[in-house]
Amino acid sequence: METVIIDGLAFALPLFIIALGGIYSERSGITNLALEGFMGMGAFIGTLAVVLTKEFFPTVMHMAFYIAIVFAMLGGAIYAMLHGVVCIKFKANQVISGVVINILAIALTGFLTSQLNEVIFGKPSSKFVLDVLERFSISGLSEVPVIGSFFKDIYPFQPIIIMVAIIAWYTLSQTRYGMRLCACGDNPQAVDAGGADVAKIRMSAVVISGALAGLGGMCFVYSISANFSSSFYVGYGYLAIAALIFGNWKIGPTLMACALFGFARSGGYMISGLLELPSTFSDLIMTLPYILTMILLIFFSKNNNPPRALGEVYEKGKR
């Protein structure tokens, strides 16, 4: 049980921060299937920053993790602007834009990783290798039976995700900006009539979405294999989208959905180990969160209440 909780949280929290980014975008009215592309590009930029730091500035490698987090968020945010410009300025189909951005991210990160390894480092490799993060435990709390597992073998990014999530929740639910953002997804005409710029608010929401997805992608790099490749993040963006839909575009229920997916994944690996299944069956265990997603959506999607203007192109001044 301890392993299930520890590994489940290590997967659920990065997934949650990516889904939280999706909530920001979709609550503003912009359909965001591009989360996977945002997290992939953000993780690529963050990993590249660390690799270059290690190569040319080894004296600051003690700050490598924080460098990775900052650059991953910047990379995700900048790449997200592409989705924002295409959907908001040029009023393109938001679903198609998201799918194309995901495909483009996989192709670009794969190509650039191989080329940069060859040109800069002289290593024909499709991966960037990072140092393994050291985990820590909170003394006292980690020794409590069962509950102590939540405070044991913690990755450094886990408290960062929690703090960022609290700030994101407060901004979305307790500030004027957050109220206007949500209004853009429900009644953009009212926001326009109130004197606010719907396009700017939606663009900012998409950029925030990219930054949060980049953070989640970088955390997955460190927790899953400590190396970056263009295939490591495939599927996680869509799982985050499923979590926010299952959570009805609300932060609390989305967190619960991500925790459910995380514990299903780690629980599946535990069962595979206990039964001593061959590696082929262990790979099959990775499908559990996606199977669970389909089952949950079948039973709960009819009760969903998405933003009323989600996916709609807004024309300024239109009534």
Give tens-digit pLDDT for 116-126: 999 888 888 88
Flag whether 253 is in a domain. Answer: no
SS3 234: coil
d(CA 317, CA 319): 6
Overall average pLDDT of the 138-158 stretch: 89
Q: Is the pLDDT at 242 greater than 70, yes or no?
A: yes
Query: 115 in a domain, yes or no?
Result: yes
5-9, 39-43, 67-71, 315-319: the lowest-pLDDT one:
315-319
Q: Is residue 306 part of a domain?
A: no
**Residue 261: inside a domain:** no
For residue 26, the enclosing domain spans: 10-135+152-248
Within-domain flag for 82: yes
Model confidence over 74-115: pLDDT tens digits?
A: 999 999 999 999 999 999 999 999 999 999 999 999 999 999
Give the total number of structural domains in the chain. Answer: 1
Q: Look at residue 297 and tell me if it is in a domain.
A: no
pLDDT at 101: 97
* Whole-number pLDDT of residue 318: 59
Whether residue 319 is predicted with pLDDT greater than 60 in this model: the reply is no
Q: Which one of 48-62, 186-200, 205-219, 255-269 scores highest in mean pLDDT?
A: 205-219
- Mean pLDDT along residues 234-251: 92
**pTM of this prediction?**
0.94
Give the angle subtended at the CA of 307 by the CAs of 302 and 310, to the nearest 5°: 105
Q: Provide the mean pLDDT of the chain.
A: 91
Place of tokens 């998405």: 306
Q: What is the pLDDT of residue 281?
A: 65
The confidence score (pLDDT) of residue 182 equals: 96
For residue 288, tell me if it sits in a domain: no
Residue 171 within a domain: yes
Pick from 127, 118, 129: nearest CA to 231:
127
- Which string of DSSP letters, residue by residue, matches 21-38? HHHHHHHTT-----HHHH
pLDDT at 282: 65
Quick one: average pLDDT of 139-153?
Answer: 87
Q: Read out DSSP for 73-86? A: HHHHHHHHHHHHII
Q: Give tens-digit pLDDT for 270-318.
A: 877 777 767 666 667 777 777 877 787 777 777 788 999 999 988 876 5
C-alpha neighbours within 13 Å on the C-beta side of residue 70:
7
What ranges in 176-246 are assigned the alpha helix state H?
176-186, 188-193, 198-224, 236-246
Residue 1, SS3 per DSSP: coil
Q: Provide the terminal-to-terminal Cα distance of the chain, rounded to the nearest Å.
A: 56
Answer whether residue 224 shows pLDDT above 60.
yes
